Amino acid sequence: MAHTAPTVFSESAHRAARWVLPVVLGAVYGNWVAVNRRHGGPITGSDVASGVWSALAFMVLCIAVVQVLRRLRRDLHALHALVRAAFAGVALGFLYSQTGDDIRPVVITTVLVTAAVFLLLFYRFHTRADA
């Protein structure tokens, strides 16, 4: 007999979180991009516009990743982990590239974080697989 964890939130709360969480994360991400672009200087219209476009792109891509992953088979642990890690790596890489730093540390940091996120998620999905 398999034991399942009790659900704390209702199905409607989970459904709302699928849309609210990407919007909130996108707003934070867009603000972070705008702050990175201005390099401590005054706020300009192009920085704000870049933040808004980045927030919208993050929201759309986050929702798309969630929708694609919901349609995949649950036993494809490596693919689930790879898609999420790639999204996290690309988001971090773009965010870090807005600082104006050299491209080498951006790429190295992005690859290391993507690999770490992949390993973490693969371990989580593999150890919590349905028996």
- Cα 100 to Cα 68, 83, 103: the distances in Å are 33, 27, 8
Q: What's the pLDDT band for 2 if we cut at 50, 70, 90?
A: low
pTM (whole model) above 0.95: no
> Three-class SS of residue 115?
helix
Q: For 33-90, what is each residue's pLDDT tens digit?
A: 999 888 878 888 999 999 999 999 999 999 999 899 888 887 787 888 999 999 999 9
Query: What does the pLDDT read at residue 4?
Result: 61
27 pLDDT exceeds 80?
yes
The pLDDT, as a whole number, for residue 74 is 73
pLDDT of res. 5: 61
**Which pLDDT belongs to residue 86?**
95
**Which uninterrupted H or E stretch holds 129?**
none
Residue pair 89/114 in contact by the 8 Å Cβ criterion: yes
